[in-house]
Structure 1
């Protein structure tokens, strides 16, 4: 599309579900969930531009640019409306997609999502630091990179009391390996600059959360998330009227990796028990004119 290669998986049949991965990951982060969902749904899982097997050009790496890319991909695939599921940075893209294209968004599920608060791990902020590119070019040299990845995977495999701190290191190892590609590092750095500064996340849904009034929303978080704090799930509950928030125990920043069956069950339950959003231009206009209201949302919060 637009002269750039976009990699994606499309499998299964039934209502369409769009899975959006997080920063520096790719579609393979959903590998444990896709087969479960494909039994009942048409699943589309792309590599976002700058990630995985998609091209990594000098391009627009803003949330709006990614949302436009997802609209175009769905149009090429002949899919008009979807339930959008976004993890981490992909959650921010999902929120932006729902805001820009409410007529094409049936429901929204956010998994350990960006865009719900300022805080973020300092390790992501460091990507903007002077010398990061030069440091990564050394740390991702073949011999060094392989030792790092092996050490991270060894730590990830250990149980015990430190498990809550090390469970996500398997995914971190995959990220380190992907950064061997200079073009990937370039894309990730430009992406981070678009959404994060030294104080944390720049873009949040706080000022536009009221626009989700007519859209079913579910939020899933891992209790031991060390990238985006679990308290952001409470922010979602306060900002989005009618949101259902589930916090998964024994899970970190990647609930879909830690508990794929449970995430698939939650998504299926969410889709099965909610009516898809129906876009109304007049209602959207009214919401924009009236702005946010002081009415307290009805929120269901549960722990699984």
Structure 2
């Protein structure tokens, strides 16, 4: 069990875990960013295996887990700034940034805002890749949603709801396989400050029609940065087609689709996920920021760049990969 550590940044407590080889001071760093309503435990199944090779840092976002939940900036850019400041306090200059779901949107924003500190970008069932999102999250933007959630997370209703979700989550079907994780989020929402933070966050990135924040218009900048996209083929939160479509905007990206997997591929097949991440790091050189090259890319824009053919990979449960 990894020890939770705490550091204060801008007056607010930040929780995180850090693990990795103690005999390799120059080991590459991986920053793991969790999704909406989750916390660092999203990565529990993969942290120790990754830490055999990398220095791994997995924080709780502000407003989540054991981090502080103040009245604060819960925008995507604000979270990216917070991760920059956390790495700075921890003495980390650069990292491969891995983001899941909403954390993928933060990871992409981090890479955009701080390319000089981003060695690689890995997006896992990531937000910000398209418009579509599950109606359950869109509903959180509606009037009275906070009241409904507050009532649903009172002790009696919450216990019934989470028990039912976990029971259904044991059924390995497309409609039910992620419900155990939903139950964990419902449990976390019993804290009023968590509900407040989630409401601020969701309303900043989603409206009743879906996602309003996208990385598509800036994805061409990843020509200068290794990028991998990983998705569960049966994700009902954010559809896998968004991962496929991003290749139109980031043609150098490496895409991997896990079949019969929902929104949490790192939980369903942790060994395959770790192996995929290690292979990606081993097979790519860390990005090196050049201001002149960055300026040239910005001036050229996405439409003036030729698309490259990228093969889509499908990961079988055994861990073998084949070209799709």
- Counterpart of 2:45 in structure 1 is 32
| 2:78 aligned with 1:68 | no
CA RMSD of aligned residues (A): 0.8
1:266 counterpart SS class = helix
Pick closer, same or farther for the CA change 1:286–1:294 going to 2, 3 Å: closer
Deviations 1:22-77 (A, max 9, x none): 00000001000101101111000000011000111111111110000000000011
What TM-score, normalized to structure 1?
0.97
| 2:271 aligned with 1:261 | yes
**Contact kept? 1:243, 1:300, Cα under 8 Å:** no
- Counterpart of 2:322 in structure 1 is none
| 2:185 aligned with 1:185 | no
How do 1:226-241 residues align onto structure 2 when only pairs under 5 Å count? 226-241=236-251
| 2:253 aligned with 1:243 | yes
1:95 counterpart SS class = helix
1:133 deviates by 1.2
CA distance in 2, matches of 1:258, 1:86: 17
- Counterpart of 1:165 in structure 2 is 175
CA distance in 2, matches of 1:249, 1:19: 23
**Contact kept? 1:15, 1:42, Cα under 8 Å:** yes
1:78 deviates by 0.5
| 2:211 aligned with 1:198 | no
CA distance in 2, matches of 1:236, 1:217: 11
1:164 counterpart SS class = coil
Structure 2 alignment gaps of length 5 or more: 1-8, 22-26, 316-324
1:143 deviates by 1.6
- Please identify, of 229-238 and 43-52, the stretch whose mean Cα deviation from structure 2 is larger: 229-238
**Contact kept? 2:142, 2:208, Cα under 8 Å:** no
CA distance in 2, matches of 1:294, 1:248: 29
Structure 1 alignment gaps of length 5 or more: none
1:235 deviates by 1.4
How do 1:71-86 residues align onto structure 2 when only pairs under 5 Å count? 71-86=84-99
CA distance in 2, matches of 1:228, 1:255: 13
- Counterpart of 1:301 in structure 2 is 312
**Contact kept? 2:39, 2:64, Cα under 8 Å:** yes
CA distance in 1, matches of 2:146, 2:252: 43
- Counterpart of 2:138 in structure 1 is 125
- Please identify, of 134-143 and 111-120, the stretch whose mean Cα deviation from structure 2 is larger: 134-143
CA distance in 2, matches of 1:115, 1:134: 27
What TM-score, normalized to structure 2?
0.91
| 2:96 aligned with 1:93 | no
- Of residues 156, 167, 174, the one that matches 2:169 is 156
CA distance in 2, matches of 1:70, 1:303: 31
- Counterpart of 1:3 in structure 2 is 11
1:294 deviates by 4.2
**Contact kept? 1:242, 1:300, Cα under 8 Å:** no
1:7 counterpart SS class = strand
CA distance in 2, matches of 1:72, 1:260: 29
1:148 deviates by 0.8
Pick 1 or 2: higher relative contact order, CA cutoff 8 A, min separation 6. 1
CA distance in 2, matches of 1:233, 1:134: 34
| 2:64 aligned with 1:54 | no
- Of residues 223, 240, 261, the one that matches 1:213 is 223
**Contact kept? 2:222, 2:252, Cα under 8 Å:** no
1:241 deviates by 2.4
